[in-house]
Chain A
Amino acid sequence: MGVLKVRGFSLTRSFVVPLVALLVAVGCATGSSSDKGSVSVLAAWGGSEQDSFMAMVKPFTDRTGIKINYTGTRDTSVLTTRIQAGNPPDLAGLPGPGQMYDLAKQGKLISLDGVLDSSQMASDYAPDWIKLGQYNGKTVGIFIKTSLKGLVWYVPKNFQAKAYPLPKTWDDLLALQDTIKNGGTAPWCIGLASSGADGWPGTDWVKDIVLTQAGPSVYDKWAAGTQKWTSAEIKTAFQTWGTNFVNKSGYVYGGAAAMKSTDFADSATPMFATPPKCYMHHQASFMSGIFVEKNPALKPTTDFSFFPMPPVTSANDGGHVVAGDLFGMFKDTAQARALMKYLVTAEAQTIWVKRGGALSANKKVDLASYPDDLSRQMAAVLVGAKIARFDAGDLMPPAMQSAFWKAVLDYVSNPGQLDSILTNLDKIQVDAYK
């Protein structure tokens, strides 16, 4: 060691001592915790959603001693990067079925057929929900929670003040918005901005319209990439949205400029102003959580409520677009298997349902578990939907979905260019589904 002693620098002191300290610390840290092992989980939830997930897995940890190491990030590229680097988490939230198919195709997702009890699954879940988690007949994804799309939010006291009736049919809705417009207020508040995903709130409208105007078979073909965007059905859906709502002068608060520049989470705020600047807001079930987050004084049912978007044609009555948070398994460990098995149970799903902000697709979850009438009503719509279809955008490959978001923004800016917008989507469709 004498050679390495340069002006008081000692290799022993500089490297070896801290190293020994580090190793001792490591030994202590791992020795005390990893008796039963742990599961690493990566998902997009933060804040209250993360708290709810941790509450959901707490009984599991208490019972089995298996620790959950949760990482929350909204950046979907974290998962892809970790998979590419050969270092995936044990379990991870998937952005949607589209991404799930992609990962399953690449062989990154572990089949859950040997993990989950198939007869239990069949009795707990509607066949549609099980099918949505499958790729080539193998279950590779499960739903932690679900949401209901295509709801129209309104403020009951505003509706009562003007004696506006709740619309049951498409014609009712069009008549109601004319009445509101004639009363001097814009009927709708719409915000299409969303960091990194601008445009998606608009695509939700188009999905609703395709499902209840053209019907579920066109919707399925459209999501699967076999229905041309330039086809009469899809073009009509865009036009129905444009001519009746977004491009109709005075029907959206602030017009196209406000739609494009307002974040979806802030867009309904003018509905709660006095006097209201709009009366209706089209958004999924999770919006109730955002209302309360923006203004904790608001109470569900009394301060805000919803009615399902009426079907465009009565033949497709009861058609609803649904969505959900999928989970997949990337590493096959005993601990990960145990956690997967636990997460699909009614017991686990009831925990999040009780905390609010989630609907469960598990039929065994008691409707009484929902924290308020509003979420109970949503759960009832979800369970009772005659035609339930998963969010078509999430079913599309990411490149197609991304182009759909952009197309909506372009359509709102330049309704006259619909044909060229749809032609471009067709071009992307040919490539994206390869």
Chain B
Amino acid sequence: MDIFQLLTLAGVVVLVPTALAVYIIGLEYVVRLLPDATQPRVRPWIWVTPALVFVALFLVYPTLGTIQISLLDRAGNFVGLANYATVFNDSGVIIAIRNNFLYWLVLYTVFVLVFGVLLAVLADRVRYETLLKSLIFMPMAISFVALGVIWKFMYSYQPADAPQTGTMNALVTTLFHAQPVTWLQDRAIDNPALIATAVWGFTGFAMVILSAALKGIPGDLLEAARVDGAGELTIFRRVILPLLMPTITVVGTTLVIFALKAFDIVYVMTGGNYDTDVLANRMYLELTKFSQPGRAGAVATILLLAVIPVLIFNLRQLRAVESRR
């Protein structure tokens, strides 16, 4: 690192806070000169503007840039929607879309939610709840890359005559006396194997939030239901579940967004081979390996378009949940 870079760094460290301080103190001084009645209307904008500028700079500008790049070829010529046509004609992308929507969006989301609700409700009724919840939540502390590496070892395969070093195949061969399975190389089970890994890693997230919502259900409500003669299953179906529904929806939509941008686990565990590819990995490959920024931009834009409705729905739900409090 040369002296110039370090000076730039030092400059940024000093200049950015100074500029912000000058901005706030200076404008506050200006606002105080305004009539008292106008002040409350102007002041919020002064505080919000830096945030708006940063959002525009780091979110809106790159988004528009990506969309623009998706309309250009490698040489930078405008090619209209040609990149989108290429992408949709690529059998690899079609498989990635299938995986993103069928396996990740549906299976992953459903399993995480089902396990999350079950664990939250069941853990609520045992004495060692904290311990149980800590254990289930623990995988959230590791990165998805580490998660992928760990599970790659768990799924490791050795020929039938060799000792099985992977946990899964050790179980399969010793408990069930079956042939070892190539979990990550067999098209019939590799996607579910990846989903199982992701579910293991993310169930804790759903469980913790749902558990918090569960604690928010008033005890007398459940008591009243019991007095009325409702069984525990009926209480779960008719009282708990409807009251948890808004939270389930918010967690569910968050999971859907995670599902659409799934990358780490696939990249680490299969590299997208044997029909396990996902859109985010296609985007990565097109951009960094194949030097096709236009196609990468097209994939990114497709992902963005797929996520937007979910985002809007998620925000609406979040607002609904908050207004009910």
Question: Are B291 and A257 in contact, CB atoms less than 8 angstroms apart?
Answer: no
Q: Does B157 contact A (CB under 8 A)?
A: yes
The contact string, 1 if C-beta is below 8 Å from chain B, for chain A 396-425, is 011100100010010001000000000010
Closest to B149 in A: A195
The contact string, 1 if C-beta is below 8 Å from chain A, for chain B 277-314, is 00000001100111110000000000000000000000
Cβ of A251 to closest chain B Cβ, rounded Å: 14
Asked if A80 meets B288 with Cβ closer than 8 Å, knowing A258-B157, A261-B184, the reply is yes
Q: Does A250 contact B (CB under 8 A)?
A: no
- Residues from 203 to 260 in A contacting B, C-beta threshold 8 Å: 253-255, 257-258, 260
Question: Are B289 and A399 in contact, CB atoms less than 8 angstroms apart?
Answer: yes
Interface of chain B, main secondary structure: loop
Cβ of B67 to closest chain A Cβ, rounded Å: 18
Interface size class of B (residues with CB under 8 A): 35 or more
Question: Are A81 and B159 in contact, CB atoms less than 8 angstroms apart?
Answer: no
Which of A18-26, A49-57, A123-131, A161-169 is the interface stretch? A18-26
B273 cross-chain contacts in A, Cβ below 8 A: 198-199, 406, 409
Question: Are A19 and B184 in contact, CB atoms less than 8 angstroms apart?
Answer: no
Complex Cα gap A254–B86 (Å): 39
Complex Cα gap A261–B6 (Å): 47
Asked if A26 meets B292 with Cβ closer than 8 Å, knowing A254-B159, A258-B157, the reply is no
Question: Are A30 and B157 in contact, CB atoms less than 8 angstroms apart?
Answer: no
Cβ of A204 to closest chain B Cβ, rounded Å: 18
Asked if A19 meets B10 with Cβ closer than 8 Å, knowing A198-B271, A406-B273, the reply is yes
Q: Does B13 contact A (CB under 8 A)?
A: yes
Asked if A30 meets B2 with Cβ closer than 8 Å, knowing A3-B25, A261-B157, A398-B291, the reply is yes
Q: Does B224 contact A (CB under 8 A)?
A: no
Interface of chain A, main secondary structure: helix
Complex Cα gap A432–B295 (Å): 13
Q: Does A4 contact B (CB under 8 A)?
A: yes
Residue from A15, A23, A30, A398 within 8 A of B17 (CB atoms)? A15
Complex Cα gap A424–B161 (Å): 36
Question: Are B21 and A4 in contact, CB atoms less than 8 angstroms apart?
Answer: yes
Question: Are A102 and B13 in contact, CB atoms less than 8 angstroms apart?
Answer: no
Question: Are A196 and B185 in contact, CB atoms less than 8 angstroms apart?
Answer: no
A22 cross-chain contacts in B, Cβ below 8 A: 6, 10
A199 cross-chain contacts in B, Cβ below 8 A: 273
- Residues from 226 to 249 in B contacting A, C-beta threshold 8 Å: none
Q: Does A73 contact B (CB under 8 A)?
A: no
Complex Cα gap A313–B43 (Å): 84
Closest to B169 in A: A261
Residue from B7, B21, B180, B185 within 8 A of A260 (CB atoms)? B185
- Residues from 48 to 70 in B contacting A, C-beta threshold 8 Å: none
Asked if A102 meets B291 with Cβ closer than 8 Å, knowing A26-B3, A30-B2, the reply is yes
Asked if A258 meets B159 with Cβ closer than 8 Å, knowing A4-B21, A198-B271, A424-B91, the reply is yes
Question: Are B290 and A402 in contact, CB atoms less than 8 angstroms apart?
Answer: yes
Question: Are B289 and A76 in contact, CB atoms less than 8 angstroms apart?
Answer: yes
Question: Are B157 and A270 in contact, CB atoms less than 8 angstroms apart?
Answer: no
Question: Are B182 and A260 in contact, CB atoms less than 8 angstroms apart?
Answer: yes
Closest to B166 in A: A261
Cβ of A186 to closest chain B Cβ, rounded Å: 10
Closest to B91 in A: A424
Question: Are B292 and A399 in contact, CB atoms less than 8 angstroms apart?
Answer: yes
Complex Cα gap A261–B183 (Å): 9
The contact string, 1 if C-beta is below 8 Å from chain B, for chain A 1-14, is 00110000001000
B23 cross-chain contacts in A, Cβ below 8 A: none
Question: Are A270 and B162 in contact, CB atoms less than 8 angstroms apart?
Answer: yes
Q: Does B14 contact A (CB under 8 A)?
A: yes
A397 cross-chain contacts in B, Cβ below 8 A: 290
A196 cross-chain contacts in B, Cβ below 8 A: 267, 271
Closest 5 CB pairs of A and B: A254-B159, A77-B288, A261-B157, A260-B185, A399-B290
A–B pairs, 18, beta carbons within 8 Å: A3-B25, A22-B10, A23-B7, A26-B7, A34-B2, A76-B288, A77-B288, A77-B289, A80-B291, A195-B271, A198-B271, A198-B273, A199-B273, A261-B185, A398-B291, A402-B285, A409-B274, A413-B187
Residues in B lying within 8 Å of A, measured CB to CB: 2-3, 6-7, 10, 13-14, 17, 21, 25, 74, 86, 91, 156-159, 161-162, 180, 182, 184-185, 187, 267, 271, 273-274, 284-285, 288-292
Residues in A lying within 8 Å of B, measured CB to CB: 3-4, 11, 15, 19, 22-23, 26-27, 30, 34, 76-77, 80-81, 102, 195-199, 253-255, 257-258, 260-262, 270, 277, 397-399, 402, 406, 409, 413, 424, 431-432, 434
Given contacts A77-B284, A261-B157, 15 further A-B contacts (CB under 8 A): A3-B25, A19-B10, A19-B14, A26-B7, A30-B6, A77-B288, A198-B271, A257-B180, A257-B185, A260-B274, A397-B290, A398-B291, A406-B273, A413-B185, A424-B91
